[in-house]
Structure 1
Amino acid sequence: MARTDTASRVIAAPPDRVYAALVDPEALTVWLPPDGMSGRFERFDAEPGGSYRLVLTYADASAAPGKTTADSDVVEARFVEIVPGVRVVQAVDFVSDDPAQAGTMTMTWQVTAVEDGTRVEFRADDVPAGISADDHAAGMTSSLANLAQHLEDLP
């Protein structure tokens, strides 16, 4: 059975700044990697049909082994839909020899103006069975907290 994981957060920043952070590779490397990880893009083309390759590296691989190597997760993604100022949809695959990590996960980032700033909703559909629901929820929440810190610290 396909699994869907979700997380959301209100960020004290206007929707245009939040959306910009969803499609800017420099901003993404700051906020997207969950706590305990760092990230770098090997390529990045944010347009419908464009793609990216992201290497996430664990600071301490003994606590959580990587999906691709002992200390890393490599993500191959394609932009399925980009609605400027509103939504970014990506088809995401982890590079892994483990069949439990196989399969394309659809990640949707939605931004909506609210009274206190912007609600960011993060939805992951068809999450591979090898990704722990608890770990994934913690990672999604961590990324949203990083996004809030990144945007709320900007002048």
Structure 2
Amino acid sequence: MAARADRVSRLIAASPAAVYGALLDRAALQAWLPPSGMSGRIERWDPRPGGGFRMVLTYLDPAGAPGKSSDATDVADVGFADLVPGERVVQRVVFEADDPAFAGVMTMTWDLAGSGDGTEVTVTATGVPSGIGQADHEAGIASSLGNLAAYLERS
């Protein structure tokens, strides 16, 4: 069986430099990274290789989607493993959770490729904890990419 890779792409009407900037700006990430139905807060911020951030995602309605870290939240410690300006951001994500189904280190690779008047953004997740369903995870990534597009395309 092949290793699982959750992958979603989207063309965003912004330059690779602008997309890269939105991946490394604290206020921008707080605005666009939380998928639909969630809000986000960054508690720690160190945007350099070897640095990272801690994000608390809160479900707007926790009744239908219990969190991994508490009833209403998902908390993730994210490390920047590789930063290539205008081309790629590689993150190592560890969820704060007591359930072993959410344990481990997930790698999220954000590849940026200039395409006409925009950027093709491809997000690939490997090492995804078994407790995260692939279809749900890909829908969440797609939602975040939609938020990123709206954030960058509004100006």
Range class of TM-score, shorter chain:
over 0.9
CA distance in 2, matches of 1:77, 1:31: 16
Structure 2: which 5+ runs fail to align? none
Contact 1:10 1:116 in 2 (8 A): no
CA distance in 2, matches of 1:21, 1:138: 20
CA shift, 1:15, in A, is 1.3
Alignment of 1:31-110 (within 5 A): 31-110=32-111
TM-score, scaled relative to structure 2: 0.97
Contact 1:5 1:125 in 2 (8 A): yes
Q: Give the number of aligned pairs.
A: 154
Q: Secondary structure at the match of 1:10?
A: strand
CA shift, 1:106, in A, is 0.4
CA shift, 1:135, in A, is 1.0
Q: Secondary structure at the match of 1:62?
A: coil
Which amino acid is 1:136 matched to?
H
CA shift, 1:86, in A, is 0.9
Q: Secondary structure at the match of 1:53?
A: strand
CA distance in 1, matches of 2:38, 2:120: 24
Which amino acid is 2:151 matched to?
H
Alignment of 1:4-23 (within 5 A): 4-23=5-24
Which amino acid is 2:75 matched to?
V
Deviations 1:22-50 (A, max 9, x none): 11010001110000000011101111100
TM-score, scaled relative to structure 1: 0.97
Q: Secondary structure at the match of 2:121?
A: strand
Report percent identity of matched pairs: 56
CA distance in 1, matches of 2:94, 2:5: 15
CA distance in 2, matches of 1:102, 1:19: 28
After the TM superposition, list the runs of 4 or more consecutive aligned residues in structure 1 that deviate by more than 2 angstroms: none
CA distance in 1, matches of 2:117, 2:63: 40
- Over aligned residue pairs, what C-alpha RMSD do you find? 0.9
Q: Secondary structure at the match of 2:36?
A: coil
CA shift, 1:116, in A, is 3.3
* 1:142 counterpart residue number: 143
Structure 1: which 5+ runs fail to align? none
Q: Secondary structure at the match of 1:60?
A: coil
